[in-house]
Chains A and B, each alone.
Chain A
């Protein structure tokens, strides 16, 4: 699913990061473990096509990302990758259902309202569907954000620090949930984190060290 080779990234300020070569097989889960500032978010963004590759090679779902550009890359991202960001940001002007419907619409996929219900059911938040985003709790917001990442049946889920702000109990629950829904939807899961607690749940990990 993911192959990373000789990947280097040079920041605008001049720092250069070198990432280790690694690959993740289809349907597997993997951690990108590293401290703050180690560049794991940068790596996640490169794999997700949010940052351009400067040197090296990243292949996602059989496509070399370097060959994709502009709207083609945007479309590839929409169809193949689901993102879960640390802030679980939802579009606050919309309801939960509308937030979920945005994903297929923006990706240019068929908008399937039934799929929304199925995903909400899987995440145990079916009752929130028509609520305003303002009226749900942080925990619920995270579930909605996970649902949004899954709605397009992506091949790959990229999660950035999904658990670092949570207590042990919730951390365990969220990572189990991520693994469960990823398995249910046949997604590969890549989690960037500094949260050592996750090692006990996801064994495969790639250490990211700022050199």
Chain B
């Protein structure tokens, strides 16, 4: 016999009420847990995807769109820029590395990116099978693409114009899969990589003879003087901190191009997302508050029924303090169970979402990681339990046992 057994039996003797309280608190806790897990993993993902890219240079438009499209591959391109203008920026002495990006086509929802080997290298992409693309129309695909579209080595496919499935197909120019990358947990997993030339080729822009002239810095197969070629954007890494001060000003002020900073735009994105998170947090807070109230009412009501139990316990030698602790423990045990249920529910929901969603719908969040904030939730729930139980416990502490026992 111990207090825990007693308290547990008290909770068991009111199964519906106990279940209601556990579910109420569990729902609130689950929402908070999901928020914590998602915001952690979203931040991690945004950080890994934007890491090492100091500036994105593209056509004028929304800077956030530029970032979303060229780094996270979720929005549409802002337009095209001239290759020779991009070349000029790449040649700036403040630029350490510049990676060209040619976007706009896709295959069954997965984006085709015309770029250079430096892009895959930047994200630590490694081959699982085959080789990197070399000739035009050769592609190396991300691990998630290979899995979801069931594309194997040397498979061929026709790309679609645009980033959705309803764009017209580029029937005349099939791509061939030359390699499949190992998973990287970055955007690379969901991309189809090819050369910039392939993108031009699909759009029937055959290279003019560039023999004899200086080759382009970004795409060496064409002449630096060629003014017809276009790409979507340029991912820039600064040589020094000076780049951060000067380059955006030069680009935004002196050229027809736009420069956007991933760090600044993602911070802005978070502050916009923050509003949604705030609303959800408020919702969770209301749920938790209601459950706290419900636990308080349950304990308070059960105390009325248990006045005699408490008097008997005192007559058997229990001190006031022990009676006080018994009720406190009941509140704490209840919130502890509710909180554990909520943590499991939160992680379980994320896990099931990830397991049963089809590949294209995968959010990439895993329910299997536990974060330190969840310890704070647990500690907070125990505190909440003691607070809810405080008034009933105090009443039990003060009860006049003789009066209770002599009432017929």
Contacts and interface: CB of A to CB of B under 8 A. Distances in A.
Contacts of B48: none
B13 A93 contact: yes
Contacts of A79: 317
B308 interface: yes
B312 interface: yes
A50 B10 CA distance: 25
A48 interface: yes
Interface in B313-357: 313-322
A102 B3 CA distance: 9
A108 interface: yes
A92 B305 CA distance: 11
Contacts of B312: 83, 85, 89, 91
B405 A50 contact: yes
B317 A74 contact: yes
B244 to A, nearest CB: 68
Q: Tell me the dominant secondary structure on chain B's binding face.
A: helix
A98 B317 contact: no
Interface string A90-108: 0111100010011111111
B16 to A, nearest CB: 14
A94 B6 contact: yes
A51 interface: yes
A90 to B, nearest CB: 8
Given A94-B6, A94-B9, A101-B1, A41 B317 contact: no
Interface string A38-57: 00011001001011000000
Contact of B1 (A50, A86, A102): A102
Task: Give the interface residue-count category, chain A.
Answer: 20 to 34
Given A93-B9, A98-B5, A106 B405 contact: no
Instruction: Give the interface residue-count category, chain B.
Output: 20 to 34
Interface string B1-25: 1100110011011000000000000
Interface in B83-122: none
Contacts of B314: 50, 74
A75 interface: yes
Given A51-B402, A98-B1, A106 B309 contact: no
B406 A74 contact: no
Contacts of A105: 1-2
B287 interface: no
Contact of B402 (A45, A74, A102): A45
A101 B309 CA distance: 15
A77 B319 CA distance: 10
Tell me which of A48, A51, A98, A105 has the highest count of chain B C-beta atoms within 10 A of its own C-beta: A105
B316 A107 contact: yes
A41 B1 CA distance: 30
A50 B402 contact: yes
B383 interface: no
B401 interface: yes
A14 interface: no
Nearest to B12: A93
B322 A106 contact: yes
B408 A86 contact: yes
Contacts of A92: 13, 309
A75 B318 CA distance: 7
A111 interface: yes
A106 B317 contact: yes
Contacts of A77: 315-317
A71 B309 CA distance: 18
A195 to B, nearest CB: 15
Contacts of A74: 314, 317-320
A150 B1 CA distance: 17
Best-buried of A101, A106, A160 by chain B (most CB within 10 Å): A106
Given A74-B314, A108-B317, A91 B309 contact: yes
Contacts of A89: 308-309, 312
Interface in A102-123: 102-108, 111
A102 B405 contact: no
A78 interface: yes
A87 interface: yes
A106 B316 contact: yes
A106 B402 contact: no
B14 to A, nearest CB: 8
B46 to A, nearest CB: 52
A111 B1 contact: yes
Interface string B294-319: 00000000000000110011111111
Interface in A130-148: 148
A62 interface: no
Nearest to B5: A98
Contacts of B309: 89, 91-92
Interface in A54-81: 70-71, 74-75, 77-79
Nearest to B318: A106
Contacts of B405: 41, 45, 50, 85, 160
A35 to B, nearest CB: 14
12 contacts: A74-B314, A74-B318, A75-B319, A77-B315, A77-B316, A91-B312, A93-B10, A94-B6, A103-B316, A106-B313, A106-B322, A107-B316
Closest 8 CB pairs of A and B: A78-B317, A107-B317, A93-B13, A101-B1, A106-B318, A105-B1, A71-B319, A93-B9
Given A75-B319, A77-B317, A91-B313, 7 more contacts: A48-B315, A74-B319, A89-B308, A93-B13, A102-B313, A103-B317, A107-B317
Interface of A: 41-42, 45, 48, 50-51, 70-71, 74-75, 77-79, 83, 85-87, 89, 91-94, 98, 101-108, 111, 148, 160
